[in-house]
Amino acid sequence: MPDAARINRLALTNFRSYRAASVAIERNLVVLTGPNGVGKTNLIEAVSFLVPGRGLRRATLDEIAFAEGDGSWAISAEIEGMLGLATLGTGNEPSTGEDTPRSRLTRIDREPVGSAAAFADHLRVIWLTPVMDQLFMGPASERRRFLDRLVLAVDAEHTSRVSALERSLRSRNRLLEEARPDAHWLDAIEHETAELAVAVAAGRSETVQRLQGALAQRRDEVFPSAEIALSGWMEQGLLGHPAVEIEERYRTILKDNRPRDAAAGRTLDGTHLTDLTVVYAPKDIPAANASTGEQKALLIGLVLAHAGLIAEMTGFAPVLLLDEVVAHLDPGRRAALYDALGRLGAQVFMTGADPAAFADIAGKADVFTVGGGQLRRDR
């Protein structure tokens, strides 16, 4: 069993419903119970900010600040991770009342670091939330976002490349809106766009290949295996061709499609349109055609396989955040999930309104009741 990255203490200041809260964590299993709306998800959302990005709700920096505060917020976590003991901190400064955007601040052992990407040297965090239950039925954009979270847990720089690609595509689209766009500027932007697109595609393709290998080894009938693939031609092309060849091909496509893209007001070809295809392996059917229960089991199986892959690659199991995951599982699947988490050995935060759902693990977990912006330890 690999080691597990652990959060030993978590402190929140002016974060969502928490004016000030601090909790010491002693075990790998952490259960947060309480009625809906009391702040269980807010707490695990704070943990999700210990990686790059906008957290499990994709919130803006202003949205997560305490409603009656000054716009500032802070998260501090004492962790035991891949580089030993460390304190990770992130937050936002008070609002100045100006329109200038504020950036998220990040510190390690109280020293500023460039971005939250540096946190990846210490721990990885992955999550499963109720919103993701519609993953297989929803638009391709949601599956791309899910896919990019998978890649980010493997490569901490992936989000910055995706953001840079989005900015480059916006710049190209603005140029194409002009009556007589500067051809030299277009060439330069398309050169950058192709380079970024292939880098993003390569990260996705490598992660999917690794994850498919991990899924192929699964023999769990409760949370069954899946067959996953990418629909984008760039990701497929990278399987058998050098990256420079794919870049040059995409630059040619961008240049040839300028009139079409200008008329459409957007770029109509590229890795920003890639979809993740998922097949429910036991029945060899698209995941979208599986039952609701089968889709839920499939999604849990994907997340467990991904966590195992991260543990294999880094030597440390990631921190898992499971929001309301057990609420809709029957007793058999609930027990199977607890067994799978035990085998993984990761630190896992679980939320749920019904304490009875966690009865099987109550003696092995730190159990907290959440309410009034505070946490009360039950066990």
Query: Does residue 50 contact residue 88 with C-beta atoms inside 8 Å?
Result: yes
Tokens of 372: 């009034």
Query: Does residue 354 contact residue 379 with C-beta atoms inside 8 Å?
Result: no
Region of poorest pLDDT, from 154-168, 210-224, 265-279, 290-304: 210-224
Q: Residue 97: is its pLDDT beyond 80?
A: no
**For all residues of the chain together, what is the average pLDDT?**
93
Region of poorest pLDDT, from 94-103, 124-133, 154-163, 295-304: 94-103
Q: What are phi and psi of 249, to 5 degrees?
A: -65, -40
The helix/strand/coil state of 122 is coil
Nearest to 309, CA basis, from 151, 146, 158: 151
In angstroms, the first-to-last Cα distance of the chain is 26
Distance between CA atoms of residues 145 and 237, nearest Å: 21
Distance between CA atoms of residues 305 and 47, nearest Å: 21
Per-residue pLDDT at 238:
94
Q: Residue 194: is its pLDDT beyond 80?
A: yes
Per-residue pLDDT at 226:
92
Q: Residue 63's CB: how many other CB atoms inside 10 A?
A: 11
Query: Does residue 111 contact residue 35 with C-beta atoms inside 8 Å?
Result: no
Tokens of 270: 């590229």
Per-residue pLDDT at 328:
83
Read off the pLDDT of residues 360-371 as tens digits, 9 standing for 90 and up: 998 999 999 999
Per-residue pLDDT at 62:
83
DSSP E strands, 29-169:
29-33, 73-81, 84-92, 105-108, 111-112, 125-128
Distance between CA atoms of residues 365 and 8, nearest Å: 14
Per-residue pLDDT at 137:
95
Sign of CA dihedral 257, 142, 234, 288: negative
CA 71 and chain centroid, separation: 25
Tokens of 369: 């009741």
pLDDT band at 224 (very low <50, low <70, confident <90, very high): confident
Question: What 8-state DSSP symbol labels residue 95?
Answer: P
Per-residue pLDDT at 68:
82
Tokens of 224: 């069954």
Q: Residue 291: is its pLDDT beyond 90?
A: yes
- Per-residue pLDDT, averaged over 90-105, amounts to 79
Nearest to 129, CA basis, from 74, 58, 222, 71: 58
Read off the pLDDT of residues 140-151 as tens digits, 9 standing for 90 and up: 999 999 999 999
CA 219 and chain centroid, separation: 25
- Per-residue pLDDT, averaged over 222-249, amounts to 93
| Strand-by-strand arrangement of the 285-286 sheet | 226-230, 276-280, 285-286
Per-residue pLDDT at 70:
85
Query: Does residue 226 contact residue 304 with C-beta atoms inside 8 Å?
Result: no
Q: Residue 1: is its pLDDT beyond 70?
A: no
Q: Residue 379: is its pLDDT beyond 80?
A: no
Please state the pTM of the whole predicted model: 0.93
Residues sharing a CB contact under 8 Å with residue 253, sequence separation 6 or more, in sequence order: 269
Tokens of 273: 């349109």
Per-residue pLDDT at 268:
97
Residue pointed to by tokens 């716009």: 71
Per-residue pLDDT at 202:
97
Nearest to 298, CA basis, from 279, 322, 272, 275: 279
Query: What's the Cα-to-Cα distance from 74 to each of 20, 46, 82, 376, rounded to whole Å?
Result: 10, 9, 23, 21
Nearest to 89, CA basis, from 78, 99, 100, 80: 78
Amino acid sitting at position 276: L
Q: Residue 299: is its pLDDT beyond 70?
A: yes
Distance between CA atoms of residues 83 and 140, nearest Å: 37
Amino acid sitting at position 324: E
Q: What are phi and psi of 4, to 5 degrees?
A: -125, 130
Read off the pLDDT of residues 312-358 as tens digits, 9 standing for 90 and up: 999 999 999 999 999 889 899 999 999 999 999 999 999 999 999 99
